């Protein structure tokens, strides 16, 4: 279902919660230090708009539950299952016709599977690595919560999954040549991977379980405005597909799990312009990510976390070739531009800063040995399960019928011609790379020598990067128990947020090093925590 939710529609209504509240976007401290300004009405950013101004008398029906969950993605379903398990009555509002599930990996520490396999890590070390990687712009307490609760959350999630929906721990055991302690970007094995279908089944089971426990899902019903009485969130006004409004009273509280804003052009351009760059000037690919939930919370006094907003757009560098492997990388000018020993998101971060936002990966016929000596981050090859013969067949085809996305050739000149690179410069870059290799040190970018492979043995291969721009992983300011905070950093009573509606988790980037799949990992862990808290009526 697609509703007309343009700003014009909302401006028709009264600004129920006021423009000043609407401007709470992490700028209060600055305002306090500034000299007193003359009274003026703060300007409402275009992306924010104002609340539609729905009232009780506009509603055709009133419903009531202990817990109201807004958004039936992975975090909302986890909240609904946990709350109904604890005996609370639950209503879930979802604007689409069905639940929203995508991907296939759950990032956690210390699950039963981790323990069985001996993949155990020092949790504080992992949390520190994450905080450092995020430029210390994140909420360390939230990450500690994830480190402590994600394993039990996975075990809880897994306990009702059908047997045929199997899963495994990514990159475990680590390849022999891999030693985390020597890595520039460390990798703790957090990703428990299902098949894509298995992940859908596994989450459908969570949904079904919550329904069995009494949770009521109202599909094709869009939450439009939070109800705030005497400073407390007491419910939400929502709109049905036929245009009628309903009032849903939340006795204990509201859990906001409405996802991100990557499909909202105004919000992306204003709050995460780098995402715009990563997509080549388009909104994201997830139509449910409209950012309405965040706007609704800001109308009720919440704050959006300050920038930079992080996005998930990890590159499938060489997906058709040797994936995220530390091969030589050239830009469209034929020049090398980075230490290629990095994870998928770091590839993207550098590729989008290159001409045309494109990277070209180059390697030679000694690729099999190279794969055994790579890092193990998301979308890097895992040699123990890699089908080397199938890859070779793919590369042979690339020599017979090369394309600009995967080409093979017996001379570098021919290869770069096909890839559309300035041949002389590109060949000089390869010669320089080979010279650094034989000299025993990467004086240009500092790549470790055991990941430098000279490009000398034909056929030579090249592939073009692809950026998988997905989502924006920033949201509302929350505390370590996921209460949504107001401009004074005080919890807005009875309002919680999880999943991509909540901030505090990512700032520099959506990391695929030092941990993977923490988007689902935090969404489900925190959704579950909120469900339990609201059911227990914890303020
Ligand atoms: C292709 C792809 C693959 C991915 N793979 C992985 C992976 O393997 N591992 C991983 O960790 N992460 C992965 N991610 C990211 C991950 O899927 C998301 O970050 C995660 O699902 C977010 O969950 P959520 O519950 O916050 O929101 P969503 O799953 O986005 O759900 C939000 C829901 O809220 C609803 N909604 C919004 N506004 C309203 C409203 N006003 N009223 C009612 N309903 C509303 C939406 O319709 C939607 O159903 C992937 C992302 C993509 C795009």
Walk across the sheet containing 328-330 and list its strands: 328-330, 360-363, 460-464, 406-409
Q: Which of 52, 97, 100 to mutate to test the pocket of ligand 1 (most atoms within 8 A of CB)?
A: 100
171 closest CA partner among 89, 236, 114: 114
Is there a contact between 47 and 304 (Cβ–Cβ < 8 Å)? no
pLDDT at 42: 64
Distances (CA, A) of 529 to 129, 255, 496: 24, 11, 10
> CA torsion sign, 407 to 412 to 418 to 423?
positive
pLDDT on residue 320: 80
Which residues touch 381 (CB under 8 Å, ≥6 apart)?
A: 322, 323, 324, 325, 371, 374
Pocket test for ligand 1, best of 262, 293, 313, 519 (most atoms within 8 A of CB): 519
Residue 499 C-alpha to ligand 1 middle, in angstroms? 7
* Distances, alpha carbon 96 to alpha carbons 72, 92, 200, in Å: 9, 12, 16
DSSP string, 100-114: -----EEE-SS-HHH
For residue 103 and ligand 1, the question of a CB distance below 6 A is answered with yes
In this predicted model, what pLDDT tens digit does every residue of 128-163 receive, in sequence order? 999 999 999 999 999 999 999 999 999 999 999 999
Helix H or strand E encompassing 20 = helix 19-22
Tell me what pLDDT residue 512 has.
87
What pLDDT shows up at residue 30? 40
- Determine the distance separating the centroid of ligand 1 and the alpha carbon of 147, expressed in angstroms: 21
Q: What pLDDT is recorded for position 11?
A: 29
Residue nearest to atom 33 of ligand 1 (CA): 71
Ligand 1 lined by 223 (C-beta under 6 Å):
yes
**What is residue 319's predicted lDDT score, i.e. its pLDDT?**
75
Predicted pLDDT of residue 537: 86
Q: SS3 for 416-430, per residue?
A: HHHHCCCHHHHHHHH
The closest-lying atom of ligand 1 relative to the alpha carbon of residue 516 is 11
Count of beta carbons in the 10 Å neighbourhood of residue 230: 6
- Which tokens hold the place of 261? 């804003």
DSSP-derived pairing of the beta strands 216-218 and 221-229: unpaired
* Contact assessment for residue 416 and residue 428, using Cβ atoms and an 8 Å cutoff: no
Q: What is the pLDDT of residues 14-28, one digit of tens each?
A: 233 333 333 333 333
Is the separation of the CB atoms in 299 and 484 below 8 Å?
Answer: no
Rounded to whole angstroms, the Cα distance separating 279 from 282 reads 5
Model pTM score:
0.92
Give the residue whose CA is nearest to atom 13 of ligand 1: 103
- Cis? peptide before 514, omega within 30° of 0: yes
Q: Is 54 helix (H, G, I), strand (E, B) or coil?
A: coil
Tokens 């199938």 label which residue? 390
Q: Within its chain, how far is the Cα of 160 from the centroid?
A: 25
- The pLDDT assigned to 167 comes to 98
Peptide bond preceding 308 in cis form (omega within 30 of 0): yes
* Ligand 1 near 474 CB (within 6 A): no
pLDDT over 70 at 289, yes or no: yes
The protein residue whose alpha carbon is closest to atom 6 in ligand 1 is 103
Placement of tokens 């849903």 in the chain: 248
8 pLDDT more than 50: no
499 lines ligand 1 (CB under 6 A): yes
Please give the mean pLDDT across all residues of the chain.
91
pLDDT value for 27? 32
Provide the pLDDT for residue 252. Answer: 98
Ligand 1 binding pocket includes 86 (Cβ within 6 Å): no
Strands 483-485 and 105-107: unpaired
Least confident stretch, 295-309, 355-369, 372-386? 372-386
Tens digits of per-residue pLDDT, 70-124? 999 999 999 999 999 999 999 999 999 999 999 999 999 999 999 999 999 999 9
Query: Do 507 and 48 meet the contact criterion of CB atoms below 8 Å apart?
Result: no
CA distances from 463 to 295, 318, 354, 358, 414 (A): 41, 5, 16, 11, 14
* Tokens 């971060």, residue located: 349
What distance in Å separates the CA atoms of residue 210 and residue 212, rounded to the nearest whole number?
Answer: 5
Which residues does residue 406 pair with via DSSP β-bridges, in sequence order? Answer: 463
Averaged pLDDT for residues 180-189: 95
pLDDT for residue 5 is more than 50: no
Question: Does the C-beta of 288 come closer than 6 Å to ligand 1?
Answer: yes
Pocket lining: 346 vs ligand 1, CB cutoff 6 Å: no
């Amino acid at each position: 279902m697609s509703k007309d939710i343009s700003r014009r529609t909302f401006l028709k209504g009264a600004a129920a919660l006021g423009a000043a509240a609407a401007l709470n976007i992490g700028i209060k401290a600055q305002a306090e230090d500034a000299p007193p300004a003359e009274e003026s009405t703060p300007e409402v950013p275009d992306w924010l708009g104002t609340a539609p101004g729905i009232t009780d008398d506009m509603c055709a029906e009133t419903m009531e539950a202990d817990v109201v969950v807004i958004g039936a993605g992975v975090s909302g379903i986890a909240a609904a299952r946990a709350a109904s398990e604890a005996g609370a009555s639950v209503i879930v509002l979802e604007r689409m016709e069905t639940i929203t599930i995508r991907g296939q990996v759950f990032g956690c520490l210390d699950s039963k599977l981790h323990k069985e396999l001996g993949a155990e890590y020092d949790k504080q070390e992992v949390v520190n690595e994450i905080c450092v990687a995020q430029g210390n712009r994140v909420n360390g307490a939230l990450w500690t919560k994830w480190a402590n609760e994600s394993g039990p959350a996975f075990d809880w999630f897994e306990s009702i999954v059908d047997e045929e929906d199997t899963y495994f721990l990514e990159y475990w055991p680590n390849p022999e040549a891999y030693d985390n302690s020597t890595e520039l970007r460390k990798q703790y094995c957090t990703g428990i991977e299902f098949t894509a279908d298995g992940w859908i089944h596994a989450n459908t089971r969570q949904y079904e379980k919550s329904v069995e426990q009494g949770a009521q899902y109202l599909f094709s019903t869009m939450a439009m405005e939070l109800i705030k009485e005497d400073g407390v969130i007491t419910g939400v006004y929502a709109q049905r597909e036929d245009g009628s409004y309903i009032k849903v009273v939340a006795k204990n509280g509201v859990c906001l799990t409405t996802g991100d804003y990557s499909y909202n052009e105004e919000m992306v351009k204003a709050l995460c312009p780098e995402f715009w760059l990563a997509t080549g000037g388009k909104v994201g690919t997830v139509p449910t990510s409209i950012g309405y939930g965040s706007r609704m919370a800001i109308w009720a006094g919440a704050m959006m976390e300050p920038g930079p907003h992080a996005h998930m757009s990890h590159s499938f560098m060489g997906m058709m070739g040797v994936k995220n492997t530390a091969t030589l990388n050239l830009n469209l000018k034929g020049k090398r531009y980075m230490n290629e020993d990095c994870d998928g998101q770091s590839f993207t971060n550098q590729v989008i800063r290159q001409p045309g936002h494109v990277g070209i990966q180059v390697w030679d016929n000694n690729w099999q040995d190279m794969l055994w000596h790579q890092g193990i981050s998301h979308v890097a090859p895992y040699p123990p399960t890699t089908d080397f013969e199938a890859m070779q067949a793919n590369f042979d085809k690339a020599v017979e019928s090369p394309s600009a996305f995967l080409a093979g050739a017996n001379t570098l000149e021919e290869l770069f011609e096909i890839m559309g690179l300035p041949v002389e410069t590109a060949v000089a870059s390869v010669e320089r790379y080979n010279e650094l290799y034989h000299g025993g040190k990467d004086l240009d970018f500092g790549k470790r020598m055991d990941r430098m492979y000279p490009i000398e043995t034909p056929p030579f291969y090249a592939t073009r990067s692809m950026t998988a721009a997905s989502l924006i992983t920033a949201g509302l300011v929350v505390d370590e128990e996921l209460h949504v905070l107001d401009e004074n950093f005080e919890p807005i009573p009875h309002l919680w947020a999880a999943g991509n509606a909540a901030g505090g988790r990512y700032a520099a980037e959506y990391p695929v090093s030092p941990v993977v799949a923490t988007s689902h990992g935090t969404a489900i862990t925190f959704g579950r925590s909120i469900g339990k808290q609201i059911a227990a009526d914890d303020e």
